[in-house]
Structure 1
Amino acid sequence: MTSTDIAAYLARIKSPKRRRDAETMLELINRATGEEPRIRSGLVAFGTYHYKYVSGREGDSAAAGFAARSAATTVYLADGVGAHSDLLDKLGPHTTGVGCLYLKDLTDVDLDVLEAIVRRSYQTLTAGTYPLRARETDHP
């Protein structure tokens, strides 16, 4: 994808706060992964990883990513939020799903901690073929 695609994605975000947070996430995830962003299935994706589950199902997916949703910025952690519970305790206000971190306002969270979470997740996923689904990791 091109920078034009990213600019178009940002332009579609109606909320100034959500747009500001998306711009922050672009820089943060780029630093954490060293990857350039691309639009994939409605989210901003960085890099890829290969997964192969015990069932035999395998494929490729985004190694890091986020989406500027109306209620919150969603950060995707395919290795599961449970893998980051030690850092989540230090992050600031957030909610979680099995593989998602929901942030209502990035000015309320510790961006260094968020970057560490994204970096750790990316490194875990890209270290080789990843064998687990997010729900198979421990989560808070």
Structure 2
Amino acid sequence: MAENKTKATAASAGDYVAAIADESRRRDCDRLMGLMAKASKHPAVMWGPAIVGFGVHRYPLAGGKQGEICAVGFSSRKGDISIYGVTGHPQASELLARLGKHKLGKGCLYISRLADIDLNVMAQLVSQAVEDKQA
């Protein structure tokens, strides 16, 4: 079986965010990094070259093996900020209804900017997702 390409690295999450060219997006990602670290109770760690992750989620694979990815995370993409891992817990749909302007994709939440969402709701999404995955 192929190994997971997205792994925790020693790269600096702060350097990743500082290198974001758009000043507004850089500020949003810096604030989001602080919010997610506080809500998840885990430090920011780079997963691959472009995902700022928090915590570790281990999951079973075929043949008794185990995969691993960040419990929650985000990445600054071309059009939006992609937020990973926050939509699968049982209370997510109720919280998403109160979040504000966002789009949903396959396992991802997309926001254009932090001003479009309720940061308290985002913090709840993050903390509940991490709790759910580490239970």
Whether the 8 Å contact between 1:46 and 1:65 is mirrored in structure 2 is: yes
The alpha-carbon deviation at position 124 of structure 1 amounts to: 0.6
CA distance, structure 2, for counterparts of residue 37 and residue 70 of structure 1: 21
Query: Which residue is 1:14 aligned to?
Result: 21
RMSD: 2.3
Query: Which residue is 2:57 aligned to?
Result: 49
Matched residue type, 1:30: A
Rate the CA distance shift 1:79–1:57 in 2: closer, same or farther, 3 A.
farther
Rate the CA distance shift 1:126–1:99 in 2: closer, same or farther, 3 A.
same
Higher relative contact order structure (alpha carbons within 8 Å, sequence separation ≥ 6): 1
The alignment's TM-score, normalised by the length of structure 1, stands at 0.80
Alignment of 1:48-87 (within 5 A): 48-52=56-60, 58-77=66-85, 80=88, 84-87=92-95
- Aligned to 1:23, what secondary structure does the other structure show? helix
Whether the 8 Å contact between 1:81 and 1:99 is mirrored in structure 2 is: no
Matched residues, percent identical? 31
The alpha-carbon deviation at position 108 of structure 1 amounts to: 1.5
Unaligned runs of 5+ in 2: 1-8
Query: Which residue is 1:35 aligned to?
Result: 42
Aligned residues: 126
Q: Does 1:108 align with 2:110?
A: no
**Ranges of 4+ aligned residues in structure 1 off by more than 6 Å:** none
Matched residue type, 2:54: F
Rate the CA distance shift 1:79–1:56 in 2: closer, same or farther, 3 A.
farther
Rate the CA distance shift 1:110–1:48 in 2: closer, same or farther, 3 A.
same
